[in-house]
Structure 1
Amino acid sequence: MATTTLSREPVNYDPFDYALHDDPYPVYRRLRDEAPVFHNKKFNFWALSRYEDCANAARDFRTFSSAQGTSLEDLKAQVEYLINTDPPVHTKLRHLISNLFTPQQVAPLEDAVRQMARELLAPHLATGRIDIIGDFAAKLPMAIICRLLGFPREDEDMLRAWTDSVVHREEGKFEMPDEGMHATLKLYDYFNQDMAKRAEGQTREDIIAMLMQAEAEGRLKHDDVVGYIYILSIAGNETTTKLIGNICYQLHKHPDQAALLRSDMALLPSAIEEVMRFDGPTQMMARTTTRDVSLHGETIPAGAKVALIFTSANRDERKYKDAESFDIRRNARDHLGFGGGLHACLGAALARLEAKVAMEEIIAALGHFEVDESGLDRMHSPSVRGFTHVPLRFDPK
């Protein structure tokens, strides 16, 4: 009797498909094994999924350029944002503020982060429930970045809503939706109005004041200043918010690791690194090739958009032992959760500080908690992965 061999469909990577967002990791595993250089014909981009390939591409800015943007869609306007430039422009822009985000420079913010975390948790302690995104993690990073930028506290919710709209993508659509474009324009208008007030005499000592001084001295153009503020507002809010939610979710899904952490809070920095490796908020960043690239039997043509899937790279068993296991003792500091090369995340030290203080306060205040999975809600973006709602249950205090 003849036997038939069932063959499965070739692997497909479509970051605009909402079905991928719930659990992309099986697809990532197949990409690493079956199509480490993948071509999406529908949207005409390529994707790298192995650690070595992504790490090399992130470092090779001459071949994998950021000048055409770090998202898969084409740039609407050629504005020299920090993340959308290569040296020497990138070197100049990053040098201006890189010293503001070193571990030593952000350390004095710890007391403010801790105080704000306690204020956000306090109203919920007697109820035994909190949406750790909507009630806490969505508010904390934006409050800190607004403090650094000198924006008033009453504007935080409005600014956060606009930045959320900027990163959201509609299912199956390649372009930023109209809501995101409108939100971008609103952010630009807000930033320009703020700077106009400062020019009229409302002096403040903060990052924007420093950038405006650089503009006055001819070291920056006005568009550069607005671009800085735009990137800081989005990056300082979205990824840290999602990181805190992802930490709570992974501790819930791995109760043995949660118990280990509660028994030894000195493991918290390592736990944060493991979440960044295992389920980090930044899924991928795009580059554009400046020449033909031959890799794994495929040729990526010059001028092609290439997705560097960092979270796939971080689960590459060619790099990490038991890469698909969540182990808070791993402490893999060479993960690509914060990117790599010249474009490694400028605010990594601030994100680590905020996540550490946030989790210290969450665990101290709530004790043992569980996620009400029926209330989970994911955001939808080709580049950022996380939740918009993570309801926690705990014993009322």
Structure 2
Amino acid sequence: MEFHFDPGDAAFVEDPYPVYKVLRDEAPVYHHKDSGFYFVTRYEDVAGVLQDYSTFSSSRGNAITDSPMRVGKTLGSTDPPRHDELRRVVMKGFTPARIQERQPAIEAHVKRVLAEVKDRGECEFMSAVSRPILYGALGRMLGLEGPVADRAAELSRELFHSGGGPLGLALATDLMKGVFDLLREQLDRRKTRRSDDLFSQLLDAQDNGSGMTDDEILGNMSTVLLAGNASIGHFFSNVMYALWRNPDQRRNLNADPSKMEAAIEECVRWDTSTQAFGRQTLRDVHIRGSIIPADSRVVVCYGAANRDERAIQDPDRFDIDRPRARHFGFGYGPHICLGANTARSMLKTILLTLLPAIKDYEIDLSRSERVNHMMVRGFYSLSMRWGH
């Protein structure tokens, strides 16, 4: 019987990795007839796709199904040379010095959030801990405060949860328009009153001849806001899930917090929040005996590649002492995540404060809800308790 892959199947949403193994072994280039998309799952092939932008283009968007409001305006939805030009401008907001100077404020915010929930002994982790911490950190980076920050958080909350299906839009069109309207208001305000935020930095670069348009500034700011919330926020829940599922590794980390950076890398490899991205073929291409025609949509499965035993030994084992393995949790090739080091630093700061505060904890999966979208793995809600 021919294998049929259903990205919306409840068992796949709960644990995609057994299905990924079947795809890697039996159908490493899988044509999903319902959508017309082609899924690429083996480590070597994923690496090849991500490096070859002249064949696998991001210019039609890098989300599986992308919003026209973003396409062609963001780092993720452009190819070199324009991608490289935009990257040189945007990366000025992600220098090591700028990342480091924000860590004390993040740590202080984490402590305030934890003080509100610690004595309860339980919480819905995403709404009580993860989102407030992440929205606060990203809001500071973008210069969003008060009611504006609350509005951005409300719009972002429905990301990958707005009924578009597992291969559909990440955010409903009306909500995406709301995000762009909010950011445009902030952009117009910064044109007459600059501050120390990414908006102002990009406007300064625009004034100095970068060639970056207002639409490109808005597109990339939407990426920082939405992708930051999606990838870091869901990964935060995945870390808590991985350490709960593997209590020996949690005890290992609690006994030696110097292993935090290694633990974060292993979590990103073992259960990345960034499961897949999209590309468009510019010509017919042959992979593993299959032909992907020109102008086809390709889904590049990072999560599957990160568990490929052809490249990583015993990949289903979660081991924070594992020798560092090259993974795709932060992408690869020209589009490797610009905010990877920011994410690592932010997560390290958060977890070094959070884990000692709650120590052992339990997760109630019966009261939790997973995100149901092929691009992202994580929890929309996560029920936790500790100290009982």
From the superposition, tell whether residues 304 and 269 of structure 1 become closer, same or farther in structure 2 (CA, over 3 Å): same
CA deviation string 1:315-374 (max 9, x = no partner): 000011111111111153511001100111111111111111111111121121121222
Tell me if structure 2 keeps the 8 A contact 1:166–1:181.
no
TM-superposed deviation, 1:102: 4.0
* Alpha-carbon distance in 2 for matches of 1:140, 1:127: 18
- 1:4 corresponding residue in structure 2: none
Structure 1's unaligned 5+ residue stretches are 1-8
Instruction: Give the Cα–Cα distance (whole angstroms) in 1 for the partners of residues 93 and 213 of structure 2.
Output: 20
The letter of the residue matching 1:235 is: A
Shift of 1:20: 2.3
Structure 1 match to 2:298? 306
Q: Which amino acid aligns with 2:202?
A: L
**2:100 counterpart residue number:** 107
How many aligned residue pairs are there?
386
Query: Where in structure 2 are there 5+ consecutive unaligned residues?
Result: none
Kindly indicate whether residue 129 of structure 2 is the aligned counterpart of residue 136 of structure 1: yes
Q: Specify whether residues 249 and 166 from structure 1 end up closer, same or farther in structure 2 by C-alpha distance, changes over 3 A only.
A: closer
Which residue matches 1:276?
268
* C-alpha distance in 1 between matches for 2:289 and 2:102: 49
Quickly say closer, same or farther: Cα 1:32–1:174, change in 2 above 3 A: closer
Q: Deviations over 1:220-251 (max 9, x none)?
A: 11111111111111122121111111111111
Question: What percent identity do the matched residue pairs reach?
Answer: 32
Matches within 5 A, 1:53-132: 53-73=45-65, 75-77=67-69, 78-132=71-125
* AA in 2 matched with 1:296: R
Identify the match of residue 208 of structure 1 among 191, 194, 199. Answer: 199
What is aligned with 1:192? 184
Q: 1:225 and 2:217 equivalent?
A: yes
Q: 1:101 to 1:14 in 2, by over 3 A?
A: farther
Tell me the equivalent position of 1:357.
349
Residue of structure 1 aligned with 2:331, choices 336, 339, 352: 339
Q: Tell me whether 113-122 or 371-380 shows the greater mean CA deviation.
A: 371-380
SS at 1:148's partner residue? helix
Match of 1:257 in 2: 249
The C-alpha deviation readout for 1:2-36, integer Å capped at 9, x for no partner, is xxxxxxx4333333445421111111000010001
In 1, distance between residues paired with 2:386 and 2:159? 33
What amino acid is aligned across from residue 262 of structure 1 in structure 2? Answer: N
Q: Report which stretch shifted further, 338-347 or 130-139.
A: 130-139
Give 1:213's aligned amino acid: D
> C-alpha separation between the residues in 1 aligned to 2:24 and 2:334?
25
**Does the residue aligned with 2:119 lie in a helix, a strand or coil?**
coil
Task: Call closer, same or farther: CA 1:389–1:175 in 2, change over 3 Å.
Answer: closer
Report the AA paired with residue 331 of structure 2.
G
Q: Is the 8 A contact 2:285 2:294 kept in 1?
A: yes
Q: Distance in 1 between matches of 2:341 and 2:11?
A: 33
Asked whether the equivalents of residues 57 and 64 of structure 1 are also in contact (C-alpha less than 8 Å), the reply is yes
Deviation at 1:167, TM superposition (A): 3.0
With normalisation by structure 1, the TM-score equals: 0.92
Matching residue of 1:146: 139
SS of 2:73's equivalent in the other structure is coil
CA distance 1:98–1:249, shift in 2 (3 Å): same
Question: Quick check: 1:129–1:394 contact (8 Å CA) kept in 2?
Answer: yes
Which of 242, 248, 253 aligns to 2:240? It is: 248
Deviation for aligned residue 1:198? 2.8
SS in 2 for 1:90: helix
Aligned alpha-carbon RMSD (Å): 1.9
For the residues of structure 2 that align with 1:22 and 1:271, how far apart are their CA atoms? 22
1:29 match: 21
Q: For residues 250 and 290 of structure 1, what CA distance do their matches in structure 2 show?
A: 38
Alpha-carbon offset, residue 75 of structure 1: 4.9
Distance in 2 between residues matched to 1:172 and 1:237, nearest whole Å: 19
- Name which of structure 1's ranges 258-267 and 150-159 shifts more when overlaid on structure 2: 150-159
Match of 2:383 in 1: 391
Give the stretch that moved more between structures: 308-317 or 367-376.
Answer: 367-376
Pair 1:175–1:395, CA change in 2 (3 A): closer
CA contact (8 A) 1:169 1:381 kept: no
After TM superposition, the structure 1 stretch with the greater mean CA deviation from structure 2, 84-93 or 361-370, is 361-370
Bigger Rg, structure 1 or 2: 1
